[in-house]
Structure 1
Amino acid sequence: MEHTASDIDALVREEKRLTAVESHNEAWAEGLSAGIEPDIIAEAALATAFAELLRTNGENAALALLDRMRDKVIAGEFEEDRRCH
């Protein structure tokens, strides 16, 4: 089966996403083991992410991500029983 450039790009992007999830999970676990409360870890992670996105892509990209994440929360995509990695 021959893959298009778009297929390959999608595979690479998914591999990067999975690697990022793994890295964040490790950092989260380290924070918890250091006695940091989950809400503090979450706020720090979001602040870091949005600061970097603002720096590299601007306000519109950061606000668009915020809107997408809000929609996912409302849709229940982050509920414990729906989590898939």
Structure 2
Amino acid sequence: MIDLQGAELDDVIAAEKKQVAFEYHNEAWADGISDGIEAEILAETAISTALTELVRLHGEAEVLEFVKELQQRVEFGEFRAIELLQ
């Protein structure tokens, strides 16, 4: 029998951890910008650090699949900046 309540709780905990991680990254990003580091440099180093850790944890083959999925997400516009109409 599957423990749905436990699985749901795990999903909630994971979502909360992602939100906190997002906040940490935003704070570090803002600090870097305040210190005069260009956004492009921050972005490239963040991606490099993330990929290095993912390869360490999951291996190159799995990370290559993840990168392919990222390519599709970029092509579908998932990461486009939201433009507000004025």
SS of the aligned residue for 1:16 comes to helix
Map residues 1-85 of structure 1 onto 2, 5 A cutoff: 4-81=5-82
SS of the aligned residue for 1:4 comes to helix
Q: Which has the higher contact order (CA 8 A, sep 6+)?
A: 1
Is there any run of 5+ residues in structure 2 with no aligned partner, and where? none
| CA positional deviation for 1:68 | 2.2
Alignment deviations for residues 43-79 of structure 1 (CA, whole Å, 9 cap, x no partner):
1001100111111111122112212222221111112
SS of the aligned residue for 2:7 comes to helix
Indicate the percent of aligned positions where both proteins have the same amino acid. Answer: 40
Work out which of the two has the higher radius of gyration on C-alpha atoms and give 1 or 2.
2
TM-score using structure 1 length? 0.83
The runs of at least 4 consecutive aligned structure 1 residues that moved more than 2 Å come to: none
TM-score using structure 2 length? 0.82
Is there any run of 5+ residues in structure 1 with no aligned partner, and where? none
For 2:69 and 2:20, the matched residues in 1 are separated by 21
**Aligned CA-pair RMSD:** 1.6
